[in-house]
Structure 1
Amino acid sequence: AWLAALGGFCAQFCSFGYMNVIGVFQTYYETHQLIDLSPSTISWIGSLQSFILAFGGLFCGRICDMYGPRWLTVPGCLLLTLGVCMTALCTDYYQFVLAQGVCSALGASALFYATTSAITGWFSKRRGLAFGVAASGASLGGIALPFVFDAVSTRASFALAVYCVAILLFAFSFTAAIVTSSRIAPSGRQPYRFIHFYLRPYRDPVFALVTLSLTIVYFGLFVPFAFVASHAVANGLSLASAFHLVAYLNAGSLAGRLFSGMLSDKAGKFTIYILVCFMSGLVAVPFWYLSTTAPGVIVVAVAYGFASGGVLAMYPALIAHISPIREIGTRVGAVSATIAFGALAGLPIAGAIVGGEEGNAANYSGMQIYAGVVMMAGSVIAVIAKCKATGGKILARE
């Protein structure tokens, strides 16, 4: 069973771990290859990456239920490695979009959903802890990758730094492909009935409300990941120090993922999810809004990492908690396809609020308010979902 958790750990190192360092690439592109483009335009690379990572669940979840995880982990490993290696060779905007935004994201999506579905089959009572352990891989990736990229890019070149990242991602994704297996026998090929598989779950009001909550949260969840570094540079920090902020954020995320996973097995999945969603919004408004000094921004990065790490760890655990076991892969895919639109739109909206092109001052304060408000709104919807699930017992262990 714990081999499945190890596979999830390695897969999340490669998927959300790579996704969590979009702030490093966003800041680097703004000051190097894509210096002539606006932050909003550049942010479409990371936005498309997060969209495909999430939307891929619409297909990956069903494939995993029918054929097992190996059909996804091996192609995922190859696509991810190919996309990252091609990123090293990119010079034009469209090339970055195709290599980083599309190819690597397809591989990351296959790895994430295959291992997530496998974990749900192996664990029941300790499922929250297992998801927390797996999700901590994303934080470790978010800690290690910025330091690797910064160390190599400053001493050698961008291309060599990205190749080093690719080697790390290949090693972890290959391990995930080897150790991941499913306890539940695959159902085999079945007719593709879109309405039956993907729309029928929304007849459950609890499932529909949880999906709505996650979608709203995803409009703001990755905004600090993408803009914490460029905000720090705008406030006088060096580029190297700004890159390190992304690592600090992911260090906080590591603790948040593990702690929320363990606590959710006792306090309830809904309770912890609501708490970490609200905390994420609270850190963005007012704490990030008021932080302009280096120590203040570091504290905010760690605190936001802790809260957002809890959100990312609780998302699959909560969906598994409210779903029949044989439909978990499909239901996670259905939710992911919906929340992907929040991930797609969130970063460009934040980038448009920041502005900063044509000599105008960057509006980071407006972006921080936007991110905080949408995440708090998502936590309110989650409270309504919990009330619906428990018959109005808001303090129930659920």
Structure 2
Amino acid sequence: MRLPCEVSVSSRLLPSAGLRGPGRGARAVVALGKPPGGGGVWLQLRENIEQLFTKFVEEGKATVRLKEPAVDICLSKANVGHLKTFLSAMKLADRGTSEESLPLSTLAPPKASEVEKPKTKMTITSRKDYPFAQSFPYTLEQLQASYCKLPRIDTCILGLKRLRKLDLSHNLIRKLPVTIGDLVSLQELSLQGNLLESFGAALCNSTLRKSLQSLDLSQNKIKALPAQFCQLRELIHLKLDDNDLIRLPFKIGQLSQLRFLSVARNKLPFLPNSFGKLSLESLDLFGNPFEQPNPLAPDIQLKIPLTLWEHSARATINYRLPYSCHVLPSHLCHDLDMSKSCHCGQACLSSFIQTTVTMNLHSVAHTVVLVDNMGSTEAPLLRYFCSLTCYSQFLDRHLQSIR
């Protein structure tokens, strides 16, 4: 039984002699087996393991403390499954299990490939180079598989728990599996130039919320992003160019870390109300068919008097009362999640006045790409009002500003 990993051996007697312990570990192969001539286990383990430290075994790390010699063998960067099997075999050997019962073979020198530094980066740019018949190295941290005509994301990719950067651009992927949210270390994801029509709400509620910093969905067929998209709070770079987007998530202003946003050549008629809360370094909205804003022609959906549900829902949001599907029916939670914010700061749900106003994009971004060929850096912003009073006050200020 062989375990390729990084190994460092520390003597517990060194501190008493005033000496420092070993430095960084070295790539090696730890083997459990019989010496070439037979005659039992090569390193005495029977009743010789003082303790196994396995708190970080899910990260490929463990420490074996021997009684004699008084050393700690520190294992790291190992395959998690292989490490668990190896530790189980060591426990059996310590308990005195017979050699016939242990999966041991005759020891042999390790191959050069076993002690090489594990591969962390792989780039594939053609279908003929894609490893369809074998799995990827589990140590991969960066993977690019572009122009491979992949119709889906392979399960072998979804098992690469160390991936920080995944580039699957220019393939034929139509749908994203929910399990892509299990890539707990993923920081950069590029899906440019595929056939995606959606980005699932389940992905927005996965571990990607805490890890994903860069997302490229440009050159797909996406018409809308789910409201839950704004749960990806760590996003810094977001590219949505050349899709069929007819709207942006209405709570996009919650993406407080977002600094680079590109939504060029889509079908946006206006920007959501919360867009004004963004603080960007670069913004590109070129080539969208923005409507001409007209604050004097509102869409009035105000119901007077307000329904009991509207009163209750507004109070829940305004007073920040906690709610969840364990307390309320799921459809009511969904309605509360979709609440709108009036210019006065109060909430409204299904009863409101809606209009569009002109927004100078330099108010949210340092660098702004022109919206059209006429040199404009302005776009229509959707705005909501919770009452006639709020709309009247806004209208008075607007009329005074254009006099």
TM-score range, shorter chain: under 0.3
Choose 1 or 2 for highest CA Rg.
2
Q: Give the structure with the higher percent helix.
A: 1
Higher relative contact order (CA 8 A, sep 6+): 1
Q: Give the structure with the higher percent strand.
A: 2
TM-score after normalising by structure 2: 0.20
